[in-house]
Structure 1
Amino acid sequence: MGKLIDYFENNNKRLIDKWTHYFDIYEHHFGRFVGRDVNILEIGVFHGGSLQMWKHYFGKKASIFGVDINPLCKSFEEDQIKILVGDQGDRTFLRELKQSLPKIDIIIDDGGHLMHQQKITFEELFPTLSPNGVYLIEDLHTSYWAEFGGGLRNPNSFIEYSKSLIDNLNAWHSRNQLSPDNHFTSSAWSMSYYDSMLVIEKRPQQQGIRKVTGNPSM
Protein backbone atom coordinates (compact mmCIF):
# COMPACT_ATOMS: atom_id res chain seq x y z
CA MET A 1 0.00 0.00 0.00
CA GLY A 2 1.35 3.43 -0.94
CA LYS A 3 1.97 6.18 1.57
CA LEU A 4 -0.88 8.36 0.29
CA ILE A 5 -3.60 5.71 0.17
CA ASP A 6 -2.49 4.51 3.62
CA TYR A 7 -2.93 8.03 4.98
CA PHE A 8 -6.31 8.37 3.27
CA GLU A 9 -7.69 5.05 4.49
CA ASN A 10 -6.62 5.78 8.06
CA ASN A 11 -7.47 9.48 8.03
CA ASN A 12 -8.92 10.80 11.29
CA LYS A 13 -8.22 14.46 10.58
CA ARG A 14 -10.11 16.77 8.21
CA LEU A 15 -12.39 15.29 5.57
CA ILE A 16 -10.89 14.15 2.24
CA ASP A 17 -13.03 13.28 -0.80
CA LYS A 18 -11.07 11.40 -3.50
CA TRP A 19 -11.56 8.67 -6.09
CA THR A 20 -9.40 5.80 -4.87
CA HIS A 21 -7.67 5.19 -8.21
CA TYR A 22 -6.14 8.67 -7.98
CA PHE A 23 -3.60 7.66 -5.35
CA ASP A 24 -1.40 5.50 -7.60
CA ILE A 25 -1.34 8.39 -10.07
CA TYR A 26 -0.30 10.86 -7.39
CA GLU A 27 2.50 8.57 -6.21
CA HIS A 28 3.73 8.02 -9.78
CA HIS A 29 4.02 11.70 -10.64
CA PHE A 30 4.74 13.24 -7.23
CA GLY A 31 7.15 10.71 -5.72
CA ARG A 32 10.30 12.51 -6.88
CA PHE A 33 9.37 15.57 -4.81
CA VAL A 34 9.02 13.80 -1.45
CA GLY A 35 11.40 15.13 1.20
CA ARG A 36 12.51 18.04 -0.96
CA ASP A 37 11.98 21.80 -0.76
CA VAL A 38 8.79 21.86 -2.81
CA ASN A 39 5.94 24.34 -3.29
CA ILE A 40 2.49 22.85 -3.89
CA LEU A 41 -0.62 24.76 -4.94
CA GLU A 42 -4.01 23.07 -4.71
CA ILE A 43 -7.04 24.81 -6.18
CA GLY A 44 -10.07 23.80 -4.13
CA VAL A 45 -9.70 23.44 -0.36
CA PHE A 46 -13.11 21.97 0.61
CA HIS A 47 -12.63 20.78 4.22
CA GLY A 48 -8.85 21.10 4.11
CA GLY A 49 -8.11 17.41 4.46
CA SER A 50 -6.12 16.99 1.26
CA LEU A 51 -3.82 19.86 2.25
CA GLN A 52 -3.01 17.98 5.45
CA MET A 53 -2.45 14.85 3.39
CA TRP A 54 0.05 16.65 1.11
CA LYS A 55 1.86 18.02 4.15
CA HIS A 56 2.20 14.50 5.56
CA TYR A 57 3.28 13.04 2.21
CA PHE A 58 5.84 15.60 1.05
CA GLY A 59 7.39 16.21 4.44
CA LYS A 60 8.65 19.06 6.57
CA LYS A 61 10.37 20.94 3.73
CA ALA A 62 7.14 21.36 1.74
CA SER A 63 5.12 24.56 1.54
CA ILE A 64 1.45 23.97 0.80
CA PHE A 65 -0.83 26.66 -0.65
CA GLY A 66 -4.57 26.24 -1.01
CA VAL A 67 -6.99 28.43 -2.98
CA ASP A 68 -10.73 28.50 -2.41
CA ILE A 69 -13.56 30.94 -3.03
CA ASN A 70 -14.98 30.28 0.45
CA PRO A 71 -13.42 32.65 3.02
CA LEU A 72 -14.18 30.17 5.81
CA CYS A 73 -11.36 28.02 4.45
CA LYS A 74 -8.84 30.48 5.92
CA SER A 75 -9.45 28.77 9.25
CA PHE A 76 -7.68 25.66 7.92
CA GLU A 77 -4.28 27.35 7.92
CA GLU A 78 -1.59 25.69 10.00
CA ASP A 79 2.17 25.20 9.95
CA GLN A 80 3.29 24.71 6.30
CA ILE A 81 -0.24 25.40 4.99
CA LYS A 82 -1.42 28.80 3.76
CA ILE A 83 -4.90 29.50 2.36
CA LEU A 84 -5.67 32.21 -0.20
CA VAL A 85 -9.24 33.24 -0.95
CA GLY A 86 -10.37 33.94 -4.50
CA ASP A 87 -12.18 32.72 -7.60
CA GLN A 88 -10.18 30.46 -9.92
CA GLY A 89 -12.30 31.69 -12.82
CA ASP A 90 -11.13 35.28 -12.26
CA ARG A 91 -8.02 36.06 -14.31
CA THR A 92 -7.28 39.18 -12.27
CA PHE A 93 -7.21 37.15 -9.06
CA LEU A 94 -4.99 34.49 -10.61
CA ARG A 95 -2.54 37.08 -11.91
CA GLU A 96 -2.33 38.63 -8.45
CA LEU A 97 -1.93 35.14 -6.99
CA LYS A 98 1.06 34.44 -9.23
CA GLN A 99 2.78 37.57 -8.00
CA SER A 100 2.24 36.66 -4.35
CA LEU A 101 3.54 33.08 -4.45
CA PRO A 102 7.01 31.57 -4.83
CA LYS A 103 7.74 29.40 -7.86
CA ILE A 104 5.28 26.51 -7.73
CA ASP A 105 6.45 22.94 -8.43
CA ILE A 106 3.09 21.14 -8.34
CA ILE A 107 -0.33 22.53 -9.24
CA ILE A 108 -3.44 20.46 -8.51
CA ASP A 109 -6.71 21.75 -9.96
CA ASP A 110 -9.44 20.24 -7.79
CA GLY A 111 -11.58 23.37 -7.75
CA GLY A 112 -15.04 24.03 -9.12
CA HIS A 113 -14.62 21.67 -12.12
CA LEU A 114 -16.48 24.05 -14.45
CA MET A 115 -15.07 24.19 -17.95
CA HIS A 116 -14.23 27.89 -17.93
CA GLN A 117 -12.56 27.57 -14.52
CA GLN A 118 -10.29 24.75 -15.64
CA LYS A 119 -9.28 26.51 -18.85
CA ILE A 120 -8.67 29.91 -17.27
CA THR A 121 -6.69 28.38 -14.41
CA PHE A 122 -4.53 26.39 -16.82
CA GLU A 123 -3.88 29.34 -19.11
CA GLU A 124 -2.87 31.60 -16.24
CA LEU A 125 -0.90 29.19 -14.04
CA PHE A 126 0.78 26.65 -16.32
CA PRO A 127 3.27 29.19 -17.75
CA THR A 128 4.44 30.06 -14.23
CA LEU A 129 4.90 26.45 -13.10
CA SER A 130 8.55 25.58 -12.41
CA PRO A 131 10.49 24.19 -15.41
CA ASN A 132 10.41 20.63 -14.02
CA GLY A 133 7.00 20.89 -12.40
CA VAL A 134 3.76 18.92 -12.59
CA TYR A 135 0.30 20.26 -13.48
CA LEU A 136 -2.57 17.94 -12.56
CA ILE A 137 -6.27 18.46 -13.34
CA GLU A 138 -8.63 16.03 -11.66
CA ASP A 139 -12.31 15.11 -11.87
CA LEU A 140 -12.27 15.61 -15.63
CA HIS A 141 -15.41 13.49 -15.91
CA THR A 142 -17.25 16.81 -15.58
CA SER A 143 -16.15 17.43 -19.19
CA TYR A 144 -18.96 15.03 -20.11
CA TRP A 145 -21.61 16.67 -17.91
CA ALA A 146 -23.80 19.46 -19.28
CA GLU A 147 -24.35 21.06 -15.88
CA PHE A 148 -20.62 21.80 -15.71
CA GLY A 149 -20.51 23.22 -19.24
CA GLY A 150 -19.37 19.96 -20.80
CA GLY A 151 -20.83 17.14 -22.88
CA LEU A 152 -19.46 14.43 -25.15
CA ARG A 153 -17.46 16.11 -27.96
CA ASN A 154 -18.58 19.50 -26.67
CA PRO A 155 -15.93 21.91 -28.01
CA ASN A 156 -16.18 23.91 -24.78
CA SER A 157 -15.17 21.00 -22.54
CA PHE A 158 -11.70 20.82 -21.03
CA ILE A 159 -11.18 17.38 -22.55
CA GLU A 160 -11.71 18.81 -26.04
CA TYR A 161 -9.58 21.85 -25.16
CA SER A 162 -6.76 19.58 -24.04
CA LYS A 163 -6.72 17.74 -27.37
CA SER A 164 -5.25 20.86 -28.98
CA LEU A 165 -2.45 20.65 -26.42
CA ILE A 166 -1.57 17.24 -27.83
CA ASP A 167 -1.05 18.94 -31.19
CA ASN A 168 1.16 21.56 -29.56
CA LEU A 169 3.17 18.84 -27.83
CA ASN A 170 3.96 17.49 -31.31
CA ALA A 171 4.17 20.84 -33.13
CA TRP A 172 7.75 20.14 -34.24
CA HIS A 173 6.37 17.51 -36.63
CA SER A 174 3.41 19.45 -38.04
CA ARG A 175 5.29 20.54 -41.19
CA ASN A 176 4.69 24.21 -40.45
CA GLN A 177 0.97 23.76 -39.80
CA LEU A 178 1.66 24.63 -36.16
CA SER A 179 4.37 26.87 -34.79
CA PRO A 180 6.58 25.32 -32.09
CA ASP A 181 7.29 28.86 -30.92
CA ASN A 182 4.95 28.74 -27.92
CA HIS A 183 5.37 28.11 -24.22
CA PHE A 184 3.62 24.75 -24.18
CA THR A 185 5.67 23.18 -26.98
CA SER A 186 8.94 24.43 -25.50
CA SER A 187 8.16 23.38 -21.92
CA ALA A 188 5.82 20.36 -21.88
CA TRP A 189 7.56 16.99 -21.56
CA SER A 190 4.53 14.70 -21.37
CA MET A 191 0.76 14.50 -21.13
CA SER A 192 -0.66 11.51 -19.26
CA TYR A 193 -4.40 10.83 -19.43
CA TYR A 194 -6.15 8.72 -16.83
CA ASP A 195 -9.76 8.11 -15.87
CA SER A 196 -10.94 11.63 -14.90
CA MET A 197 -7.43 13.06 -14.77
CA LEU A 198 -4.77 14.71 -16.92
CA VAL A 199 -1.18 15.13 -15.73
CA ILE A 200 1.20 17.38 -17.64
CA GLU A 201 4.88 17.24 -16.72
CA LYS A 202 7.25 20.04 -17.61
CA ARG A 203 10.82 19.77 -18.83
CA PRO A 204 12.56 22.25 -21.17
CA GLN A 205 12.13 21.02 -24.75
CA GLN A 206 13.75 21.53 -28.12
CA GLN A 207 13.26 19.78 -31.42
CA GLY A 208 14.24 16.13 -31.19
CA ILE A 209 17.29 14.73 -32.96
CA ARG A 210 16.85 11.55 -34.96
CA LYS A 211 19.84 9.22 -35.04
CA VAL A 212 20.54 5.85 -36.64
CA THR A 213 23.17 3.47 -35.21
CA GLY A 214 24.28 -0.08 -35.98
CA ASN A 215 24.90 -1.90 -39.25
CA PRO A 216 22.34 -2.29 -42.05
CA SER A 217 20.86 -5.78 -42.41
CA MET A 218 19.62 -5.54 -46.00
Structure 2
Amino acid sequence: MSLTDIGLKHGTDKATHHGYTRIYEQYLKALRAKPITILELGWGGHEDPESGGASLAMWREYFPKATVVGIDVEPKANRLEGVDFHQGSQADPEFLKGLHDRYGDFDVIIDDASHVSSLTIRAFEILYPMLRPGGLYVCEDTHGAYHSHWYGAHEANPDPDRPRSNGQPTMMQFFRRLADEVNYHGPSDRELFPKRYWLGYSLESVHFYYNLTVIRKAE
Protein backbone atom coordinates (compact mmCIF):
# COMPACT_ATOMS: atom_id res chain seq x y z
CA MET A 1 0.00 0.00 0.00
CA SER A 2 1.11 3.53 -0.72
CA LEU A 3 1.43 6.13 2.04
CA THR A 4 -1.71 7.80 0.69
CA ASP A 5 -3.65 4.53 0.87
CA ILE A 6 -2.51 3.97 4.45
CA GLY A 7 -3.31 7.58 5.34
CA LEU A 8 -6.84 7.25 3.94
CA LYS A 9 -7.28 4.03 5.89
CA HIS A 10 -6.47 5.81 9.16
CA GLY A 11 -8.35 9.00 8.31
CA THR A 12 -5.54 11.55 8.42
CA ASP A 13 -6.04 14.82 6.56
CA LYS A 14 -2.46 14.48 5.33
CA ALA A 15 -3.92 12.09 2.74
CA THR A 16 -7.12 14.00 1.93
CA HIS A 17 -7.48 17.76 1.35
CA HIS A 18 -3.88 18.60 2.26
CA GLY A 19 -2.40 16.04 -0.09
CA TYR A 20 0.85 15.85 1.89
CA THR A 21 1.26 12.08 1.66
CA ARG A 22 2.12 12.22 -2.03
CA ILE A 23 4.99 14.56 -1.23
CA TYR A 24 6.06 12.70 1.89
CA GLU A 25 6.41 9.42 0.02
CA GLN A 26 8.94 10.94 -2.38
CA TYR A 27 11.25 11.53 0.58
CA LEU A 28 10.39 8.62 2.87
CA LYS A 29 9.94 5.52 0.70
CA ALA A 30 13.66 4.73 0.85
CA LEU A 31 13.41 4.63 4.67
CA ARG A 32 10.33 2.43 4.84
CA ALA A 33 12.06 -0.82 5.83
CA LYS A 34 14.71 0.78 8.05
CA PRO A 35 14.76 1.05 11.86
CA ILE A 36 14.42 4.82 11.95
CA THR A 37 13.14 7.07 14.73
CA ILE A 38 10.37 9.47 13.73
CA LEU A 39 9.04 12.28 15.92
CA GLU A 40 5.77 14.05 15.18
CA LEU A 41 4.81 17.22 17.02
CA GLY A 42 1.03 17.35 17.42
CA TRP A 43 -1.24 14.39 18.16
CA GLY A 44 -4.29 16.16 16.81
CA GLY A 45 -7.81 16.40 18.15
CA HIS A 46 -7.15 19.67 19.99
CA GLU A 47 -8.47 19.54 23.59
CA ASP A 48 -10.37 16.26 23.15
CA PRO A 49 -8.32 13.55 24.97
CA GLU A 50 -10.02 10.81 22.95
CA SER A 51 -9.36 12.36 19.54
CA GLY A 52 -6.39 12.55 17.18
CA GLY A 53 -3.52 10.20 16.42
CA ALA A 54 -4.52 9.42 12.82
CA SER A 55 -1.24 10.44 11.23
CA LEU A 56 0.78 8.62 13.89
CA ALA A 57 -1.20 5.47 13.16
CA MET A 58 -0.27 5.99 9.52
CA TRP A 59 3.43 6.31 10.34
CA ARG A 60 3.24 3.21 12.54
CA GLU A 61 1.92 1.13 9.63
CA TYR A 62 4.12 2.65 6.95
CA PHE A 63 7.34 2.18 8.97
CA PRO A 64 7.08 -1.32 10.49
CA LYS A 65 10.59 -1.23 11.98
CA ALA A 66 10.53 2.36 13.20
CA THR A 67 10.33 3.90 16.65
CA VAL A 68 7.37 6.27 16.36
CA VAL A 69 7.06 9.09 18.89
CA GLY A 70 4.23 11.61 19.16
CA ILE A 71 3.89 14.63 21.43
CA ASP A 72 1.13 17.06 22.23
CA VAL A 73 0.65 19.84 24.74
CA GLU A 74 -2.78 18.38 25.59
CA PRO A 75 -3.31 15.09 27.48
CA LYS A 76 -4.29 12.19 25.25
CA ALA A 77 -6.04 9.01 26.35
CA ASN A 78 -6.40 7.33 22.94
CA ARG A 79 -2.97 5.76 22.92
CA LEU A 80 -1.84 3.73 19.91
CA GLU A 81 -0.07 0.39 20.03
CA GLY A 82 3.51 0.82 18.90
CA VAL A 83 3.48 4.62 19.28
CA ASP A 84 5.11 6.38 22.24
CA PHE A 85 3.15 9.41 23.46
CA HIS A 86 4.63 12.18 25.59
CA GLN A 87 2.76 15.25 26.81
CA GLY A 88 4.68 18.49 26.53
CA SER A 89 5.22 21.68 24.58
CA GLN A 90 7.03 21.86 21.26
CA ALA A 91 8.83 24.95 22.59
CA ASP A 92 9.98 23.50 25.94
CA PRO A 93 13.73 22.85 25.69
CA GLU A 94 13.92 20.66 28.80
CA PHE A 95 11.05 18.48 27.64
CA LEU A 96 12.53 18.07 24.17
CA LYS A 97 15.99 17.42 25.57
CA GLY A 98 14.48 14.64 27.65
CA LEU A 99 13.08 13.05 24.49
CA HIS A 100 16.49 13.27 22.84
CA ASP A 101 18.15 11.74 25.88
CA ARG A 102 15.73 8.83 25.62
CA TYR A 103 15.62 8.24 21.85
CA GLY A 104 18.83 9.75 20.51
CA ASP A 105 18.99 11.63 17.21
CA PHE A 106 15.81 11.57 15.17
CA ASP A 107 15.74 10.55 11.51
CA VAL A 108 12.53 12.42 10.72
CA ILE A 109 10.89 15.28 12.62
CA ILE A 110 7.44 16.52 11.58
CA ASP A 111 5.91 19.69 12.99
CA ASP A 112 2.12 19.42 12.79
CA ALA A 113 1.54 21.15 16.10
CA SER A 114 0.54 24.75 16.79
CA HIS A 115 1.05 26.35 13.32
CA VAL A 116 2.00 29.48 15.28
CA SER A 117 5.14 31.24 14.09
CA SER A 118 6.89 31.77 17.43
CA LEU A 119 6.38 28.16 18.56
CA THR A 120 7.22 26.71 15.15
CA ILE A 121 10.49 28.64 14.94
CA ARG A 122 11.41 27.84 18.53
CA ALA A 123 10.78 24.13 17.98
CA PHE A 124 13.08 24.15 14.97
CA GLU A 125 15.82 25.97 16.88
CA ILE A 126 15.70 23.38 19.67
CA LEU A 127 15.14 20.21 17.63
CA TYR A 128 17.30 20.72 14.56
CA PRO A 129 20.51 19.86 16.47
CA MET A 130 18.74 16.64 17.54
CA LEU A 131 18.19 15.61 13.90
CA ARG A 132 20.72 13.16 12.52
CA PRO A 133 22.88 14.23 9.54
CA GLY A 134 20.93 13.51 6.38
CA GLY A 135 17.66 13.57 8.31
CA LEU A 136 14.46 15.36 7.36
CA TYR A 137 12.68 18.18 9.19
CA VAL A 138 9.18 18.88 7.85
CA CYS A 139 6.86 21.71 8.82
CA GLU A 140 3.19 21.45 7.83
CA ASP A 141 0.51 24.10 7.45
CA THR A 142 2.87 27.00 6.88
CA HIS A 143 -0.12 29.08 5.78
CA GLY A 144 -0.28 29.98 9.48
CA ALA A 145 2.42 32.56 8.69
CA TYR A 146 -0.16 34.74 6.94
CA HIS A 147 -3.26 34.38 9.13
CA SER A 148 -3.05 37.51 11.27
CA HIS A 149 -6.88 37.36 11.44
CA TRP A 150 -6.68 34.11 13.44
CA TYR A 151 -3.27 34.26 15.12
CA GLY A 152 -2.87 37.99 15.58
CA ALA A 153 -0.24 40.37 14.21
CA HIS A 154 2.17 39.21 16.94
CA GLU A 155 2.23 35.74 15.28
CA ALA A 156 1.43 36.27 11.59
CA ASN A 157 1.36 38.84 8.81
CA PRO A 158 -0.54 38.55 5.52
CA ASP A 159 2.21 40.66 3.91
CA PRO A 160 5.09 38.21 3.25
CA ASP A 161 7.61 41.06 3.18
CA ARG A 162 6.75 42.43 6.61
CA PRO A 163 7.51 40.83 10.00
CA ARG A 164 5.14 40.19 12.85
CA SER A 165 4.10 43.18 14.97
CA ASN A 166 6.91 42.44 17.43
CA GLY A 167 9.49 42.68 14.63
CA GLN A 168 10.19 38.95 14.59
CA PRO A 169 9.88 36.90 11.38
CA THR A 170 6.91 34.76 10.52
CA MET A 171 7.59 31.05 10.14
CA MET A 172 7.70 31.37 6.34
CA GLN A 173 10.15 34.27 6.54
CA PHE A 174 12.30 32.15 8.83
CA PHE A 175 12.26 29.15 6.49
CA ARG A 176 12.90 31.33 3.44
CA ARG A 177 15.95 32.71 5.23
CA LEU A 178 17.13 29.15 5.86
CA ALA A 179 17.30 28.64 2.10
CA ASP A 180 20.37 30.92 2.16
CA GLU A 181 22.06 28.52 4.58
CA VAL A 182 22.29 25.88 1.84
CA ASN A 183 25.04 28.00 0.28
CA TYR A 184 27.30 27.98 3.35
CA HIS A 185 30.16 25.56 2.77
CA GLY A 186 33.21 26.92 4.53
CA PRO A 187 34.70 29.09 7.26
CA SER A 188 35.91 31.93 5.04
CA ASP A 189 34.04 34.99 3.82
CA ARG A 190 35.56 34.19 0.43
CA GLU A 191 33.29 31.14 0.19
CA LEU A 192 29.94 31.21 -1.63
CA PHE A 193 28.03 32.31 1.47
CA PRO A 194 29.97 34.54 3.92
CA LYS A 195 30.44 33.06 7.37
CA ARG A 196 29.41 36.30 9.05
CA TYR A 197 25.83 35.72 7.86
CA TRP A 198 25.66 32.01 8.65
CA LEU A 199 22.97 31.16 11.21
CA GLY A 200 24.66 27.88 12.12
CA TYR A 201 22.29 25.39 10.48
CA SER A 202 23.99 22.80 8.31
CA LEU A 203 21.54 22.30 5.43
CA GLU A 204 21.55 20.25 2.27
CA SER A 205 18.25 21.50 0.89
CA VAL A 206 15.10 23.47 1.63
CA HIS A 207 12.05 22.58 -0.48
CA PHE A 208 8.77 24.49 -0.47
CA TYR A 209 5.40 23.01 -1.41
CA TYR A 210 1.84 24.19 -0.88
CA ASN A 211 1.66 24.71 2.91
CA LEU A 212 4.63 22.36 3.44
CA THR A 213 8.36 22.92 3.95
CA VAL A 214 10.85 20.03 3.75
CA ILE A 215 14.40 20.54 5.04
CA ARG A 216 17.20 18.01 4.75
CA LYS A 217 20.16 18.26 7.07
CA ALA A 218 23.59 18.04 5.48
CA GLU A 219 25.47 14.79 5.88
Task: Indicate whether the TM-score tops 0.5.
Answer: yes
Alignment-derived partner of residue 194 in structure 2: 178
Match runs of 1:7-26 below 5 Å: 7-11=6-10, 15-18=11-14, 19-26=17-24
Across the aligned residues of Structure 1 and Structure 2, the Cα RMSD in angstroms comes to 2.1
What's the CA shift for 1:51? 0.7
Alignment-derived partner of residue 100 in structure 1: 102
Look up the SS of the partner of 1:198 in the other structure: strand
- C-alpha distance in 1 between matches for 2:39 and 2:121: 16
Look up the SS of the partner of 1:116 in the other structure: helix
Alignment-derived partner of residue 146 in structure 2: 144
Could you tell me which runs of 5 or more consecutive residues in structure 2 were left unpaired when the two chains were aligned: 45-51, 164-168
Letter in 2 for 1:49: A
- Choose 90-99 or 155-164, whichever is displaced more: 90-99
Distance 1:81 1:10, change over 3 A: closer
Alignment-derived partner of residue 53 in structure 2: 48
Alignment counterpart, residue 123 of structure 1, candidates 118, 122, 125: 125
- C-alpha distance in 2 between matches for 1:170 and 1:182: 12
Look up the SS of the partner of 1:108 in the other structure: strand
Runs of at least 4 residues off by over 6 Å: none
What's the CA shift for 1:183? 4.1
Could you state the TM-score of these two structures normalised by the residue count of structure 1? 0.81
What's the CA shift for 1:74? 4.9
1:163 paired with 2:176, answer yes
- C-alpha distance in 1 between matches for 2:190 and 2:156: 32
- C-alpha distance in 1 between matches for 2:199 and 2:156: 27
Could you state the TM-score of these two structures normalised by the residue count of structure 2? 0.81
Q: Retained in 2: the 8 A contact 1:127–1:183? A: no
Q: Retained in 1: the 8 A contact 2:39–2:109? A: yes
Work out the percentage of aligned pairs sharing the same amino acid: 31
- C-alpha distance in 1 between matches for 2:128 and 2:172: 16
Write out per-residue CA displacement over residues 102-146 of structure 1, whole angstroms, 9 at most, x where no aligned residue. 221000000011111110110010111011211000000111111
Look up the SS of the partner of 1:142 in the other structure: helix
Q: Retained in 2: the 8 A contact 1:74–1:84? A: no
1:6 paired with 2:10, answer no
- C-alpha distance in 2 between matches for 1:128 and 1:121: 11
